[in-house]
Every structure is written in structure tokens, then in C-alpha cells.
Structure 1
Amino acid sequence: MADILYIVVPCYNEEEVLPETSRRLREKLEGLMAAGKISRESRVLFVNDGSKDKTWEIISKLHQECSLFSGADLTRNRGHQNALLAGLMTAKDRCDMAISMDADLQDDIDAVDAMVDQYYAGCDIVYGVRSSRKKDTFFKRFTAEGFYRLMNAMGAETVFNHADYRLMSKRALEGLAQFKEVNLFLRGIVPMIGYRTGTVEYERGERFAGESKYPLKKMLSFAMEGITSLSVKPIRMITGLGFVVFLVSIAMLIYSIVRWAMGETILGWASMICSVWAIGGLILLSLGVIGEYIGKIYLESKARPRFLLREVLEDRDGQADR
């Protein structure tokens, strides 16, 4: 008997693209069902992340017209990672495998077939990885690839050129549920789960409609969130920097004593001023990095819920429309 697949799609102000996204996903599910690869209880689960447009109205209408579509409505906007987690945890008890993807149709829906094949071959996690970035501008390619290199250099293990397009088995989802941190960075948490993994390469397309939800400023913030959530390497770098500065200060002390012994006791003000500003800047930078970690400890200690659901659209009589 074929296993149940849920495709989890976080949505924030996606009214422009949802009609086309739902059409393509319905065709994909129906094709996989007809081929006997997935159960007819499989669904597409749209997660409304506190959208300000008609996104939830469209999701509700899709569910009324065809119960291949389900929906989960968050009480307020919680961000992409929390919305994605909400969808995966909602799907966990209803499916055998779940695939997460964005609503903008940049992720190649046809890669779902290969992901499902690898699942049946024994993989619990299958990563969708971009085969190339030839379509990107130089700036986009440089910043995106720099993002992954920076993350790995700072100790946050990620899969290169992989975003949040992945398949997870039921036991992988149960493993994910055991990670209780409030500061979420799923691209770094999922590789920690373990189990057998696979990859599927795909060509990422252009956004079908609407605007990107990840401009450069948000990408930088996302990188900082990931690094400070998964690694203490920045704090260790501060320790190393402090040790280097201490060695330099000892060297400068020896140099000053030698100059005093030679009778050259008048030193320039410029070097002193530069030193003061340099040390002051390093102290402020170090305090900022440490503050990031203290802030995360503060948020984690509160143990606030990562998301709250207002409504989940369930199947009518447990049957999908045919």
C-alpha cells in the first residue's frame, strides 16, 4: 500500500501566486496517486502565516472545492521558519512523509517524484539542492553562495545550495519535534536529526508572481539568526581576538620600555588615539555578539510557544474530492 504524502507550503501574502501553485500541486498529487506512488489520502497543506491579504480566504475556498487541499491558519505572523514548523508538526500525525516547499513556484515541483523515489529507497530526509545559479545575477549569486559559506565557516552546518525544499519521513518529523528551541533555523537543525539522507538536484525557476520575501537585509538577519542559534564559534573567536590583542599589548609594552631606555620617551598622539578607538570598537563589537547570545538565552528561558493555530481545515468525511 502506498504511503501518505503531505506537501507543506508556508504562505505569507501569496494571493497572487496561490491559484497557479494550487493548480500545479493538484496535478502533481493526482499524477502520483494515479501512478500508485502515494496514497489517495495525501494532501497539500497550506500554512497561512498571518497574511494581510486574501491568502486565507483563497486557501479556505480551495479546501471547499477540493479536499486534496488542507490549511492551517496561524493566529499571527510568526515568520517563515515558525510557519513551516507549524505545518510539519500538523502533518506529522497525518502522513508517512512530508515535503516542504515555498509557494512562489521557484522550487521545481517535478523534483517531488525523485524525492518520493528516494524515500521508498530508504532515505528519511531528501534535500532539494539547486543544480546551478546561472539564472541569478552576479550580486544574487555572490550573496547567496556567500551565505552558505559563511554559515559553515561559523560552525552552523548546512547543506550547500539547499533552502527549505526537502522531504522528511514520519520518524524524521518525530525527531524534529524533539528540538524545542524557540530560535528556529531549520536548515541547520534538520541535518542534526541524522538518519539516512539523499539529495535531488533541480533547476530553480523565477518567482511566478509577487515580491521576494528574502531581500538582502533579511538574508543577513537570517544568517545571524542561524549562526547564533547553532554555533558558539563567534564567542570563541572573541576569545581568540582578546588573546591576540593581549599579546600585541605586551609587545607594545616591551617596545615602550626599550624606547624609554634609549631616551626616546616622547611618543606620537596619533598611535595612541588609533589604539583607543580600535580597542573601543573591538569591545563594542564583542559586547554586541555576546548580547546576541544572551538575548537568545532570554527568549529560550521564557519557553514561549513557537506558533499558535487558529484553525486547521480537516477533510470532509475523511474523503478527498475526485
Structure 2
Amino acid sequence: MNKPVLTIVVPCYNEQEVLIETASQLSGVLNELISDFLISKESKILFVDDGSKDRTWELIEKESEKNPFVKGIKLARNVGHQNALIAGLETASKQSDCVISIDADLQDDINVIRTFVEKYWEGFDIVYGVRDSRETDTFFKRTTALGFYRFMEKIGIKLVPNHADFRLMSKRALDELLKYKETNLFLRGLVPLLGFPSTKVYYDRKERFAGESKYPLKKMLAFAFDGITSFSVAPIRFVTFLGFLSVIFSAIAGGYALIQEILGHTESGWTSLMVSIWFVGGLQLMGIGIIGEYIGKIYSEVKRRPRYAIEMDIFSSNESGNHQKEAVLNKGR
């Protein structure tokens, strides 16, 4: 059996502090796997610059000139983590037998990449990297994450608990994934739908090597709500937020009205009228907001806009210095 060509896809957004170290550590992993005859010497590391504002692309170019493993693509603008990841996966699928996706911050344990590849040799098309525990998280983050996974399971959505986007996919699994043409990507939900033989590899998540997290609380909550959505649904989200506020105020007003009733300071019927107006009004706004969320997603999907545009490509070219300067649009995806 021929040794598989492995491409490690690394989405990057303002990762200048960690990029050189990431390239060095991943290159070491590839060297070891090649020496042990587990992967082909044609294997690569593909950095995807998601419209960074710092020196990320400059560093990718410099690394590609001196490190034969390092390749890169530069997106024309920031399109978000999930779209940047799918851009890298689609680019890598053309020249790879299997692909591993991993974030640039070195929090995922690169030592288990060997186990990923060994599982691939055993016949698994998808290998999920799963956190062994969440003890390093804050109480709030740990509790909300576990609650999110339980909730998604309750409503019938298959997710791999404690799995982010650290995974291996075979070429046939990746080709099937690329047939999904959603604009609003949530890869953690899409990959389990493929149905190919899969397994899990557990690891301990590390502290970020350098730089700052690109997922503050606000982004994590939005991602948990519906993954990646376009900016055009923001006004609808605002209406939903007003609905929730109305429900909260209705509860406060209801409590106040009950106190007034107990103290005998109200006319007959005033309490029930106040509670019903506030509560029903809040529920209506919530309902309109939720329906609007789905309409907004339909609006995003039917436009069929490309998910990304590649400004520069030093992966597809045979020589690392031969950059493709023109923009390359992803056809229909």
C-alpha cells in the first residue's frame, strides 16, 4: 500500500506570535511520520490566512521559502474560522489522501497526530480529537459547554462532545463533506452526518502558546447558538434580544403587581392585565425573532455567494515561490 499524502490544514487569523513555532512543531511531527513510513514525503502543512491584519501572511511566505513542508493560501478578506477552514480543506483535497485540521494556537496536542494517522491505517475515515477533560476551563465555560452538548443531543443533533475542529478525514470523507454547500457552516455538526467509519482519540488540551484567543465569550455564545451566520441577520437577532428582555421585565412587573395586590393598592383585574400584556408581548417578540433567524438563514443560502476568495496561493503551485496573485473564487461554494 502506498504511503498516504497528509496535509495539515491550519486556519490563521492574526497569529504572528505563534506561527513560526507552530510551523516548527508540526514540521517535526511530519518528519517523524515520514521517517516511520506512515506518510508520504509529499505531505504538507497548509496555513490559511483568514484576512489577518498583522504579519501572518508575511511569515507564511518566509517559512514556505525555507521549509519545504510549509505552504499557504491567503484569503482576500476575513470570512470567519469555519469558512477559512473549508477553504483550506477544499484546497488540500486536490493533492492529499488524508487531511488533518488543527488551530494555530498549539492548544491541541500535536503528539496525537501520530495516533490519528495510525487510526487512518486501521481503516477509519474520520478520527476525532476529543478533550479528555475540561478541568482547565473556568466553571462558567465548562458548565455552559456541557449544557450546550446536552441540549443539542436532546433536540436530535449529533455532535461529538468536547470535540472542536481537531480531526483527521480521509479523501473520500472529505470529498463527501465538500458536497455540502451551506453558507452558514457548522462543521462540528456536518462531519458526523457523513457516516463513514470513525473513532475518537482523547488528549489533554494545553494553554495557548502565545497571543490572544480569537474566541471571546461573545463569539463563543454566538457560535453555540447557530455556528457561523452572516451579518445580515444581526437586526433579527436584536429583535430576539428585545423579546428576551421583555420576558424578564414582565417577570419583574408581575412580581411588583402581585405585591401591590397583596397590599391592596390595586383595582380588580389590574394584576392579571399587567402580567399578561408584558408576558405575551415578550413571547411574541421572541417568536418573531426566532422565525426571523430561520428566514435570515434562508436569505443567506439562496443568494449562493462564494464562501471565500483566494488572493494568493502557494500550495497549488509546484514551486513555493510561484505565487498566484490573482483572486481565485471558490466556484459556487
Shorter-chain TM-score bucket reads: 0.7 to 0.9
Alignment of 1:29-40 (within 5 A): 29-40=30-41
Percent of pairs with identical residues: 56
2:132 aligned partner: 131
Q: Does 1:84 align with 2:85?
A: yes
Is the alpha carbon distance of 1:38 and 1:282 closer, same or farther for their aligned partners in structure 2, counting shifts above 3 Å? same
Cα deviation, 1:92-133, whole Å, max 9, x if unaligned, reads 011000000000000000110111111111110000000011
1:98 aligned partner: 99
Cα drift, residue 66 of structure 1? 1.4
Query: How far apart in 1 are the matches of 2:185 and 2:104?
Result: 20
Cα drift, residue 315 of structure 1? 7.0
- Corresponding letter in the other structure for 1:210: G
Structure with the greater alpha carbon radius of gyration: 1
Q: Does 1:178 align with 2:179?
A: yes
Alignment of 1:56-75 (within 5 A): 56-75=57-76
- Corresponding letter in the other structure for 2:180: F
- Corresponding letter in the other structure for 2:138: T
Cα drift, residue 59 of structure 1? 0.4
| More displaced 10-residue stretch of structure 1: 126-135 or 46-55 | 126-135
CA contact (8 A) 1:156 1:226 kept: no
Cα drift, residue 81 of structure 1? 0.2
Query: How far apart in 2 are the matches of 1:152 and 1:228?
Result: 21
Cα drift, residue 267 of structure 1? 4.2
1:150 aligned partner: 151
1:15 aligned partner: 16
Query: How far apart in 2 are the matches of 1:316 and 1:94?
Result: 11
CA contact (8 A) 2:82 2:228 kept: no
Q: Does 1:270 align with 2:271?
A: yes
- Corresponding letter in the other structure for 1:148: Y
Unpaired stretches in structure 2, ≥5 consecutive residues:
231-266, 321-333
2:242 aligned partner: none
Query: How far apart in 2 are the matches of 1:121 and 1:33?
Result: 18
CA contact (8 A) 1:50 1:73 kept: yes
Cα deviation, 1:142-187, whole Å, max 9, x if unaligned, reads 2222232233334432100000000000001100110001000000
CA contact (8 A) 1:151 1:226 kept: no
Cα drift, residue 58 of structure 1? 0.4
Aligned length: 283
Cα drift, residue 53 of structure 1? 0.2
Q: Normalization by structure 1: what TM-score? A: 0.84
Segments ≥4 residues shifted beyond 6 Å: none
CA contact (8 A) 1:228 1:293 kept: no
- Corresponding letter in the other structure for 1:132: S
Cα drift, residue 228 of structure 1? 9.0
- Corresponding letter in the other structure for 2:136: K
2:233 aligned partner: none
Alignment of 1:42-53 (within 5 A): 42-53=43-54
2:240 aligned partner: none
2:141 aligned partner: 140
Is the alpha carbon distance of 1:227 and 1:87 closer, same or farther for their aligned partners in structure 2, counting shifts above 3 Å? closer
Query: How far apart in 2 are the matches of 1:27 and 1:160?
Result: 29
Is the alpha carbon distance of 1:91 and 1:273 closer, same or farther for their aligned partners in structure 2, counting shifts above 3 Å? same
Query: How far apart in 1 are the matches of 2:206 and 2:11?
Result: 18
Alignment of 1:194-233 (within 5 A): 194-226=195-227
Is the alpha carbon distance of 1:123 and 1:318 closer, same or farther for their aligned partners in structure 2, counting shifts above 3 Å? farther
- Corresponding letter in the other structure for 1:158: L
Give the 3-state SS of the residue equivalent to 1:276 in structure 2. Answer: helix
Query: How far apart in 2 are the matches of 1:17 and 1:220?
Result: 25
Query: How far apart in 2 are the matches of 1:30 and 1:227?
Result: 35
Query: How far apart in 1 are the matches of 2:278 and 2:317?
Result: 67
Query: How far apart in 2 are the matches of 1:310 and 1:295?
Result: 28
Query: How far apart in 2 are the matches of 1:33 and 1:290?
Result: 52
Unpaired stretches in structure 1, ≥5 consecutive residues:
230-265
1:247 aligned partner: none
Is the alpha carbon distance of 1:216 and 1:8 closer, same or farther for their aligned partners in structure 2, counting shifts above 3 Å? same
Cα drift, residue 318 of structure 1? 6.1
Q: Normalization by structure 2: what TM-score? A: 0.82
